[in-house]
Amino acid sequence: MLNIGLVGKPNVGKSTLFSALTSVSAEIGNYPFTTTKPNMGVSFFKTPCPHNEIGKQCSPREGRCINGIRYVPVEIIDVPGLIPGSSQGKGMGNEFMDNIREARSIIHVFDASGTTDADGNPIQEHRDPVEDIAQIEQEVVRWLGDRVFRDWDKFARKADAGGERIERTLGRKIASFGISETDIVKILSSEFFPGKLSLWNLEDAIRFASAILAKIKPVIRAGNKADRILRQEADRISSVYPGTLFISGQYELALEKAFNSGLIDSTRPDFSISEKATAKQIEALTKIKEFIGQTWVTRISDLIGKVVREMLRYIVVYPVYDESSWSDSQGNILPDALLVPDGFTALNLAYRVHTEIGEGFIRAIDCRTHRAIGKDHVLKDRDVIRIVSKSR
């Protein structure tokens, strides 16, 4: 399952956002380190389901399908709060950092309202959110760079003596971070690094770590508590960090609770308020409605889609056993919806389904056109594919 990590300093509303994303109740409080261990839950990436094309209802093995929309599971990891010095063990330190090593992307949640200090304590004066963004992301880069450079001298001397390709050697060293040889080649070809690993220093390792976050594990910035700021402040932050999104986890959670209680008919921006709502509830819900209707505000329901589509550039493909019925061997229609990187080939898909199927790959079949496709054929979003293999 695709993993996305939530990081940020304490008390920025990550637990509230996590609850809104996953409908899992995480401990919420207005003080640092409310979360002392990572919360893990499942959110969903939404995409039109191909089952409408064949007039048969799909049977998802994971996730669900509602009114022709497939909900593909995505794992969310809420990493407890980071503070300046976390990379060196300050606060909860490395215990927190280790939880993001396998995340494919990172949502950096920050306090857009500037009402907390660097350690997450509430303050009366205003703190510049731009400063918070820089500090926390420097901590993540430093932590990752330190892990790359750990025991470097002995490792580098042995690697240089062996004459192995640098990407393969580095790939083994940082395999636990979910970074492939292809990813490493992408980084090494885009920036200058010493040709011999023994010539690398800590600064090189930190630059390498920074490139990982820029190119391989992209960071999307989400300014929470945006209901407390004006559009002008959002524009100012975005001028420094383009692409920043602005959300309100608290408002989204309130809408979800109001909907479940029957106070509103939906959580869409045009929701209607029930007659049974009190005057105080009507006032609060009207304020929320005005906020989420603004063009600069991002709904949490759209957040995962932006990460998957725009940051990671992933597509959804559907492997099946029977090309005519689009089913597995038990007759389940479109049981699996897999999130894969753009550029994924038919052979990549075969290995993703099972190693033996990849090793025995003969050809694949595009179930819409019934045309045979080769192992190097690049898949498209929402492709339905049958793999023909010696092993099946």
Q: Which residue segments constitute the domains of the chain, with CATH numbers given? A: 3-38+79-222 (1.10.8.470), 314-389 (3.10.20.30)
Helix, strand, coil percentages for the chain (3-state, nearest 5): 40, 20, 40
Which residues contact residue 146 at a Cβ distance below 8 angstroms, ignoring those fewer than 6 apart? 87, 202, 205
- The CA distances from residue 133 to 115, 127, 136, in Å, are 14, 11, 6
pLDDT tens digit sequence for 272-300: 999 999 999 999 999 999 999 999 999 98
Confidence (pTM): 0.85
Strands laid side by side in the 384-389 sheet: 338-341, 314-320, 384-389, 361-366, 371-373
Model confidence pLDDT, tens digit, residues 85-135? 545 555 444 555 566 777 889 999 999 999 988 888 888 889 999 999 999
At residue 301, the 3 state secondary structure works out as: helix
Structure tokens at 59: 């049977």
| Mean pLDDT estimate for the chain | 88
Distance CA(357)–CA(391), nearest Å, equals 6
3-state secondary structure of 28: coil
Q: Which residue is listed with tokens 């998957």?
A: 308
Residue 263 has pLDDT above 90, yes or no: yes
The amino acid that residue 161 corresponds to is: A
Strand locations in the chain, DSSP E? 3-7, 39-48, 64-66, 69-78, 105-111, 219-224, 245-246, 314-320, 338-341, 361-366, 371-373, 384-389
pLDDT band for 22, please (50, 70, 90 cuts).
confident
